[in-house]
Each structure stands twice: as C-alpha cells, then as structure tokens.
Amino acid sequence: MVDLVIVVPCYNEEEVLPETTRCLSGLLNELESSGKIGSGRILYVDDGSRDRTWELICGFSAAEPLVCGLKLSHNSGHQQALWAGLEWAAAHAAAAVSIDADLQDDARSVVGMVDAWHGGADVVYGVRRERKSDTFFKRHTAQAFYRLMNALGGEVVYNHADFRLMSRRALQALAAYPERNLFLRGMVCALGFPTAKVYYDRKERMAGESKYPLSKMVSFALDGITSFSVRPLRYIAMLGLLFILISVAAIVYGVSMHCRGNTIPGWTSLLVSVWFIGGSILLALGIIGEYVGKIYKEVKRRPRYFVEAEAGMSSFRG
Ligand code: UDP
Ligand code: MG
C-alpha cells in the first residue's frame, strides 16, 4: 500500500512528459522527506496515444521506481483514463491526486491538498482562482456551463476541474458507481464526506496542444448535464402545460374574433387546435419523460448512500 498516487491521464503528451515527470517526482520526494507521506507514486495512464508517450512512460518507469504506467488499448477519453487510474488507486493507495499531464494546474498545490487530507478532508478540490490563462471564449463558456449545471440541479464545484485529492474511503465510494458515462467532477460532489478546497492560479499549457477541442468540450458538457439531471425532461411537461394554458387564451380570443365576424372559415378551429394539440403532445411527452427519468436512475444503479461515521454501533456486533 502506498500513501499517495498521482494519477495523470496522458493522450499524445510526449512533449510535456519529461518536464511533468521531473516536477512530480521532485514534489513526491519533497513530500516524503518532509514526512507528509511515507511513499508516493506517479501513475501515468496512457489513453491510447499515437505518439511516443508510452515509450517515454516505460523509459521513466525503468529509471525511476516512483513512476508507473497503465496503457489503455484505445483512446477512451480523459474521464475513462482517469477512472482507470483512480480505480487502481482505490485498491492500492491511501489517497490519490488526479492532475492533467500538461501541469496547467499548479502541482505545488498538492502540498496543501495533502495537509487538508491529514486535517480530515476526504476530498480536496483544486479550485482555480482566476482564468487569465484561458481564452475569452473558454472562460465564458466554462463559467456559463457551471451556472447551467447548478441551475439544473447537478452539483459541481465552481471553477474546479479534475484536479483533486481523494482519500481511500472516497476512492472506494467512487469505485462503487457502476455507470459508464463518466462526469467525475459531478460524481465526486455527490459522494459527500468532509471536503476542503485549495485555491491556485491556472497556468498556460507547457507544450503541445490542448487535447480538448471545442467538439469534445461540448460533448463533455452535454454528458455532464445528461448524466446528472432529469430536469430537462420535466421542463418538457411544464412547457406542455404552458401551451395548454395558451390554448385557453387562444379559445377566448378565437371565439371572440369569430363572433365579431372578423375571421375566415376554419381559422378559429385551426388556431385553437394547433395550441391545444401542441400542448397535449408536449405534456404527454413530459409524462413519459418522468418515467424515462426513473428508468434512467434505476439503470445507473448508483449506490444509495455511504456511511461517513458511526456512534455506539459496536453494541450491534455483540
Ligand atoms: N486526455 C486524455 N484523453 C483524451 C484527451 C485528453 O487522457 O482523449 C488528457 C490529456 O493528456 C491531459 C488531460 O486529459 O492530461 C486534459 O487535456 P488538455 O490539457 O488537453 O485539456 P485542456 O486543459 O485544454 O482543457
Ligand atoms: Mg490542459
């Protein structure tokens, strides 16, 4: 059992890996020598890279016992790669930190995370203090996303990405989620347990290009919403009710126009039916949506609860 594993998902990261390895192994050595941890490892998860990433990982691992690697057979995506590393850590480590290979997130904050962990936190979120290094577009779309997510009832920590420390207990709770569509930053929030936050300034990518183009960002955001909220389904039913109310107004308006002889034949009945039928269809879809939402929650088979502490329970054990 090691104390701390730093899980680093890598997709075509040959340009940054040497520097990342230098930086993270320095950090682990420092944590060990200051007595904050007994032993540490860097776990690279190669997410089906097409460049020399895996050769580099093998080289580092041969030279440094600190470095380990897992190679996924296919590019499964950032979240799945991270999951692979965290699942491994849940079985073999007392805590794990997840961080991106480009070290845009300040690796120095790991020291603060370890302190917070020793102070009793099971999940320590790395939170960006500001987003100067992001483009105007990325900054605003990301912030709009956090707001939308919270408005839809999916809990996420504002300005927190996948840079966090999790204790063994939190890792094992996370591993109990059997779902395939991963949105880790939402899942971790749903775990509960004592949490803490460490603030840092996000830097520019050291080298190489972002592996998250706009298309991946949009599909990630959609994954986040659809994995955590059934509210859009409920909104359909509400829209249906609204349309039915409008159809009542349309009846009043249509009939009064009809009585005044201001209409051509067929107009009144068409106007009223369009609103009423439209509203009824939406309401019916919304009702079906309620059931679909229930099925969706069932098939996820998420754990119902986790016990955080016990008091006086030993009497049950005789
Ligand atoms: N990544 C991955 N698989 C992918 C895409 C990205 O493992 O399919 C990794 C990547 O190597 C990096 C992290 O996910 O360690 C975040 O990617 P990136 O830094 O390019 O995203 P950005 O910071 O631009 O949002
Ligand atoms: Mg990055």
Mean local confidence (pLDDT), 83-100 = 96
What does DSSP say about strands 123-128 and 160-167: parallel, antiparallel, or unpaired? antiparallel
Residue range 148-155: mean pLDDT, rounded? 85
Q: Which atom of ligand 1 is nearest to the CA of 138?
A: 25
Q: What local confidence, expressed as pLDDT, does residue 145 receive? A: 86
Q: How far apart are CA 186 and CA 76, in angstroms?
A: 19
Ligand 2 center from residue 47 Cα (angstroms): 15
Q: Where do the structural domains in the chain lie, given as residue ranges?
A: 2-228+304-316, 231-300
Ligand 1 binding pocket mutation candidate from 14, 100, 128, 206 (most atoms within 8 A of CB): 100
- Rounded CA-CA distance 232/246 in Å is 21
Nearest residue (by CA) to ligand 1, atom 16, is 100
229 CA from centroid of ligand 2 (Å): 27
Choose the residue to mutate in 211, 217, 223 for probing ligand 1, maximizing ligand atoms within 8 Å of C-beta.
211
Does 254 score more than 90 pLDDT?
no
pLDDT tens column, 101-147: 999 999 999 999 999 999 999 999 999 987 677 778 888 888 888 88
DSSP label of 201? -
Atom of ligand 1 nearest to the CA of 45: 7
Minimum-distance ligand 1 atom for the alpha carbon of 12: 11
With cut-offs at 50, 70 and 90, classify the pLDDT of residue 159: confident
Q: What percent of the chain has pLDDT over 90?
A: 62
Q: Is residue 10 scored above 90 in pLDDT?
A: yes
- Please give the mean pLDDT across all residues of the chain: 91
For residue 103, how far is its CA from the centre of ligand 2 (angstroms)? 7
Q: Is 198 helix (H, G, I), strand (E, B) or coil?
A: strand
CA 286 to chain centre: 27
Question: Please, which pLDDT band fits residue 149 given cuts at 50, 70 and 90?
Answer: confident
| Ligand 1 nearest-atom number relative to CA 161 | 25
* pTM for the predicted model, two decimal places: 0.86
Q: How close is the Cα of 305 to the center of ligand 1, in Å?
A: 31
Taken in order 282, 286, 287, 289, is the CA torsion positive or negative?
positive
* pLDDT of 308 over the 80 cut: yes
Residue nearest to atom 17 of ligand 1 (CA): 211
pLDDT (mean) for 262-291: 89
pLDDT of amino acid 141: 84
Q: Which residues pair with residue 69 across a beta bridge?
A: 44
**Does pLDDT of 85 surpass 90?**
yes
Q: Which fold has domain 2-228+304-316?
A: Spore Coat Polysaccharide Biosynthesis Protein SpsA; Chain A (3.90.550)
Pocket (CB within 6 angstroms of ligand 1) = 9-11, 13, 47, 75, 77-78, 81, 100-102, 104, 210-212
**Cβ-Cβ contacts under 8 Å for 146 (sequence gap 6 or more):** 156, 158, 159
Once rounded to an integer, what is the mean pLDDT over residues 34-40?
A: 92
Of 306, 80, 85, nearest in space to 179 by CA: 80
Going by DSSP bridges, is the β-strand pair 123-128/2-10 parallel, antiparallel, or unpaired? Answer: unpaired
Tokens standing for residue 163? 């840079």
Q: Calculate how far, in angstroms, residue 1's C-alpha sits from the geometric centre of ligand 2.
A: 30
Using the atom order of ligand 1, give the atom closest to the CA of residue 10. 11
Predicted local confidence at residue 209, as pLDDT: 85
Q: How far apart are CA 141 and CA 151, in angstroms?
A: 15
Beta strands, E only, the chain: 2-10, 40-47, 67-72, 93-98, 123-128, 160-167, 195-200
Q: Rounded to the nearest 5°, which phi and psi values hold at 68?
A: -125, 165
For residue 158, give the amino acid letter: Y
